[in-house]
Amino acid sequence: MELKRVVVTGLGALTPIGNNIEEYWDALAGGKSGCAPITYFDPEKFKTKFACELKNFNALDHFDRKEARKLDRFAQYALVSSDEAILDAGLNLDEVDKFRVGVIWGAGIGGLETFQNEVINFAEGDGTPRFNPFFIPKMIADIAPGNISIKHGFMGPNYTTVSACASSANALIDALNYIRLGHCDVIVTGGSEAAVTMAGMGGFNAMHALSTRNESPETASRPFDATRDGFVLGEGAGALILEEYEHAKKRGAKIYAEVVGGGMSSDAYHMTAPHPDGIGVERVMLNTLRDANLSPNDVDTINTHGTSTPLGDVAELKAIVNVFGEHAKDININSTKSMTGHLLGAAGAIEAIASILAMKNGIVPPTINHTTVDENIDPSLNLTLNKAQKREINVAMSNTFGFGGHNACVLFKKIDA
């Protein structure tokens, strides 16, 4: 069967460097770090005392007090970012067929803060099981798309993808496939996460996954740098409106880009470490190119997973060289995690948005905080270090990988008639 074309018609973002799309893009292009000392709790006894928290976000600016109490932060972020994307897309909710509008959302963890606080309250009590009646619906990862659909009356496919840090990229790929197979006209997709909590920081510290550069938080996320020592935990949400091309054209929607391919693979190697030779990463990029019917030479930019971990950065770049060969040195490679930190299940969404905005504006955001060359990284690669670079972009790739060996990759193309 002939697959339908799928385009992006709306964007929404709530990130550590900007609380909407305009702020997010300005900070990306300007190389702004979102990392600072933790304010949500006292981090004094933790190995890592910093994170990429949201700035100046007040739930009561978006929800009344009663509603806010029913929502974990990750679900609040989902509603705020998806509202921005729906508004940006210019969707007339009275005219769309709501049975053909779905919500497919990604979250690697979900309501971690809710779970943490309920357990603390129980442990500090007298043993009587007094739990909040909203404990379970606040915690479960699928409540985010559920709440989005309830708010707007969307009655198409509705679920959450959970594949650790690849979650929202997987959601985007599922949304792409539902639309191009003809099952939906529009899907609200993306991801959200709110893991900057005592349990989140403590758990990742116990794994030795986080940077401990407490003396200089703003420079702690330093992908590809020889002195990198782990990732920086971030939080927030990204939302995209995916729409069937003819449906979008008929209603005169603005179109950011076409989603031309998505691929997945598994490392089948280790719970948390990447395959050292990047075999799974290599395969996911090849799968994505094949799905898009494009060649390696068509790709102009790659927003890498690039978490700032000693093993992961090298494995991913090794895979890029293997897939793209000589063309690899002509690609602008970057990691926007150097600015936003790692948003876990929401990473794929905000990084897909970064790729789309880079294409729209002809500017590749930088990989900031690079000071020391890593001898294990091919010096011919253009890692877009420290300053944004102007470039005409026709095809942009976004890579996202998760604990458990989950790999997801998405390709965006400048729209043509």
State which H helix or E strand residue 236 sits in.
strand 236-244
- Among residues 185, 181, 183, 143, the alpha carbon closest in space to that of 162 is found at 143
pLDDT beyond 80 at 272: no
Domains along the chain with CATH numbers: 7-250 (3.40.47.10), 264-413 (3.40.47.10)
pLDDT digits (tens, 9 = 90+) for 185-218: 999 999 999 999 999 999 999 999 999 999 999 9
Q: Which amino acid is at 370?
A: H
Does residue 279 contact residue 267 with C-beta atoms inside 8 Å?
Answer: yes
- What amino acid positions are annotated as catalytic residues? 165, 305, 342
Determine how many CB atoms are found less than 10 A away from the CB of residue 66: 7
Give Cα separations from 268 to 177, 271, 378 (angstroms). Answer: 24, 9, 26
Q: What per-residue confidence (pLDDT) applies to 417?
A: 55
Q: What per-residue confidence (pLDDT) applies to 267?
A: 86
Q: What per-residue confidence (pLDDT) applies to 345?
A: 98
Q: What per-residue confidence (pLDDT) applies to 271?
A: 84
Model-level pTM? Answer: 0.97
Return d(Cα 230, Cα 213) in angstroms, integer: 9
| Three-class DSSP category at 109 | coil
Return d(Cα 196, Cα 291) in angstroms, integer: 36
Q: What per-residue confidence (pLDDT) applies to 372?
A: 98
Mean pLDDT within 51-80:
97
Q: What is the average pLDDT value for the chain, to the nearest integer?
A: 96
pLDDT digits (tens, 9 = 90+) for 362-410: 999 999 999 999 999 999 999 999 999 999 999 999 999 998 889 999 9
Alpha helices in 228-297 (DSSP H): 245-250, 279-292
pLDDT digits (tens, 9 = 90+) for 97-144: 999 999 999 999 999 999 999 999 999 998 899 999 999 999 999 999
Least confident window among 226-235, 270-279, 352-361, 379-388: 270-279
